[in-house]
Amino acid sequence: MADALLFEGLKVLDVGTWIAAPTAATMLADLGADVIKIEQPEVGDAYRNYFQMPASPDSPINFTWALDARNKRSLSLNLKSAAGKAILERMIRGCDVYITNQPLPMRRALGLTWEDLRPLNERMIYASLTGYGEEGPERDRESFDLVAYWSRSGLMNQMRHKGVQPFQAMAGMGDHPTGVALYAGIVTALLKRERTGKGTRVHTSLLANGLWSASCFAQAAWANADFSTIPPQRITTALYETRDGRWLQFSMVRTENDFDALLVSLDRLEWLADERFATQEDRIANAELLTGMMREIIAGRTAAEWLAIMQDNGVPVALVAEFQDLPNDPQVLANDMAVVPVEDVGMGRVIRDPVNVDGVRRVGVRKAPALGEHTDAILAEMGYSPAEIEGLRGAGVV
């Protein structure tokens, strides 16, 4: 059917917590997959509470859960009980994709490794997310993206000025792109299954994705490069604060014409006659001095004033965005990077994943589930009677 969703009929089990693995399931759900999120009774996914943590922006709306758990159904299930494990195994026999980021020791203890589950369903795609990879001395270590993606990959140490201590990244910054990588593995495996009829395991890690993100510098380590030669700062990579506390970026100022236009905007064209700044090589050699002089001038006007002047002169300037700018960013809106929900989630728009395929329709953003919201309905679909469901609830299985 022309209006059919790409993954309509695809059955996905989201046996994960927090962000990276569950967001791969969210991407499948957005394209029509029936995603059932398995959560521990009474406790649920701890990510449900992230929006209330001190490091999170203050809001009465559970914006992170609405973002990352949309379009799923929630089944509360105690996997440590024999009855709960039996229910999960029954679901596995009929699923297409099983997604997990449970620590490997937990999977081994519960009998939920790829080797354990593969005999139940030879067509199943088993998607595994770990902190450090499936093999090696640290494969059993738990981790967040702040550690395995940001710190262990070298990104944290590199993204700082000389003499300044490394700083932590924003939570979820590595998780979300890692979720896209896991999704890519899943859809690749689905194509393989279409051709072979067999399922397989796909896997990625926070460390692998951090290394990939850092690879333009990290690859140099394998080339025995000298990292001490990296300039601490250049005119184009430095940032410049305006009178109203905003920051301007000139990373796209690359040609002599661009630099000339910048000096015209600053009303300092005479600097071209200064032998310290006459050529690009001179400007690099004296970057710290020139940057300081530019900062003094730029601090004298507001960001809006500078943007108007520089755009009139053709300078490829960029305003360093604040999160509060994004709801009104015309590029974000024109490209549907944040979309109007089809159900009331307490927000006007919700950010969607960055994968775009022409002609592939999306479900639209619907409410994220309450803990165990769909438990009775899912068990009824599996053939459990109301009395049996109540018995399972009384025994703490669901």
Residue 311 DSSP SS3 = helix
> Per residue in 11-40, pLDDT tens?
999 999 999 999 999 999 999 999 999 999
Instruction: Work out the pLDDT band at 55, boundaries 50, 70, 90.
Output: confident
Give the domain CATH number at 290.
3.30.1540.10
- Number of structural domains found in the chain: 2
CA distance 298 to 296: 6
Same domain membership, residue 312 and residue 347 = no
Same domain membership, residue 284 and residue 257 = yes
CA distance 80 to 86: 10
164 Cβ neighbours under 8 A, 6+ residues apart: none
Mean pLDDT in residue range 267-294: 88
Mean pLDDT in residue range 99-123: 97
> pLDDT averaged over the chain?
93
Same domain membership, residue 34 and residue 122 = yes
> Per residue in 345-359, pLDDT tens?
999 999 999 999 999
pTM of the entire structure? 0.90
Is the residue at 246 inside a domain? yes
CA-nearest of 265, 269, 267, 237 to 250 is 237
Same domain membership, residue 131 and residue 60 = yes
Instruction: Work out the pLDDT band at 231, boundaries 50, 70, 90.
Output: low
> Per residue in 363-390, pLDDT tens?
999 999 999 999 999 999 999 999 999 9
In percent, the amount of the chain with pLDDT more than 90 equals 79
CB 16 within 8 A of CB 25: yes
pLDDT at 236 over 90: no
Give the domain CATH number at 157.
3.40.50.10540
Instruction: Work out the pLDDT band at 264, boundaries 50, 70, 90.
Output: very high
Is the residue at 227 inside a domain? no
pLDDT at 235 over 80: no
Instruction: Work out the pLDDT band at 340, boundaries 50, 70, 90.
Output: very high
Is the residue at 226 inside a domain? no
Show which of 285, 300, 324 is a domain's final residue: 324
Same domain membership, residue 318 and residue 182 = no
Mean pLDDT in residue range 188-205: 97
Helix (H) or strand (E) holding 109, with range, is helix 104-110
pLDDT at 282: 87
Is the residue at 6 inside a domain? no
90 Cβ neighbours under 8 A, 6+ residues apart: 382
Is the residue at 234 inside a domain? no
Tokens 């589950």 correspond to what residue? Answer: 117
Same domain membership, residue 244 and residue 101 = no
Lowest mean pLDDT among 155-164, 250-259, 320-329: 155-164
Q: Which domain holds residue 308?
A: 239-324
CA distance 73 to 390: 19
Buried/exposed 221-246: b ≥16 CB within 10 Å, e otherwise: eeeeeeeeeeeeeebbebebebeeeb
Same domain membership, residue 157 and residue 23 = yes
Same domain membership, residue 105 and residue 74 = yes
* H helix and E strand count, the chain: 17, 11
CA-nearest of 169, 124, 119, 179 to 147 is 169
Structural tokens at position 58: 């203050």
